[in-house]
């Protein structure tokens, strides 16, 4: 093979390699866009109202994980809802107010109603067997 022909061949190979890189980059961008759209559709939008009780995610426990410790603290009461997801909450214990991101909050539901709980004694379950 001639040196000029091999040089031309090498330039063609480099151009093909560059085209493959560009296609891969474009495909990665398309994949990221689709993944973001899917992710945004799966996010549940949380809306909070003044006076509502909420729980706050305690992010410091993420650094020192304990299996049985709850990562949610509270309850707190929502005092003000700002634009772009910021929420002002007030502690029921210390009466302090502070502003947090709404993503760190979840609604607090009061305990289970005792009227719906059915009591079953151990003696009753033994006699059924």
Provide the pLDDT for residue 120.
Answer: 72
pLDDT > 70 fraction of the chain, expressed in percent and rounded: 84
Q: What percent of the chain is predicted at pLDDT more than 90?
A: 48
* Statement: residue 33 has pLDDT above 90: yes
| Residues 31/33/34/39 CA torsion (nearest 10 deg) | 120
Cis ω for the linkage preceding 75 (within 30 of 0) = yes
Give tens-digit pLDDT for 76-85: 999 999 988 8
Average pLDDT over residues 102-119: 76
Query: pLDDT tens, 44-79?
Result: 778 889 999 999 998 775 566 667 777 888 899 999
- Determine contact, residues 77/53, Cβ cutoff 8 Å: yes
Q: What is the Cα–Cα distance from 120 to 117, expressed in whole angstroms? A: 10
Bridge partners for 78 per DSSP: 89
**Structure tokens of 76?**
């707190």
Sign of the torsion angle spanned by Cα atoms 124, 126, 127, 129: positive
Name the residue among 112, 97, 111 with its Cα closest to residue 50.
97
């Amino acid at each position: 093979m001639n040196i000029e022909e091999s040089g031309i061949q090498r330039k063609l190979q480099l151009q093909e390699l560059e085209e493959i890189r560009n296609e891969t980059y474009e495909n990665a961008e398309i994949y990221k866009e689709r993944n973001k759209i899917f992710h945004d559709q799966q996010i549940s939008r949380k809306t909070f109202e003044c006076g509502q009780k909420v729980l706050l995610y305690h992010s410091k426990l993420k650094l020192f994980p304990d299996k049985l410790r709850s990562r949610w603290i509270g309850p707190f009461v929502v005092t003000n809802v700002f634009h772009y997801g910021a929420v002002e909450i007030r502690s029921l214990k210390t009466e302090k107010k502070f502003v947090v991101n709404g993503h760190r909050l979840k609604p607090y539901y009061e305990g289970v109603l005792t009227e719906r709980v059915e009591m079953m004694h151990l003696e009753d379950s033994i006699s059924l067997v």
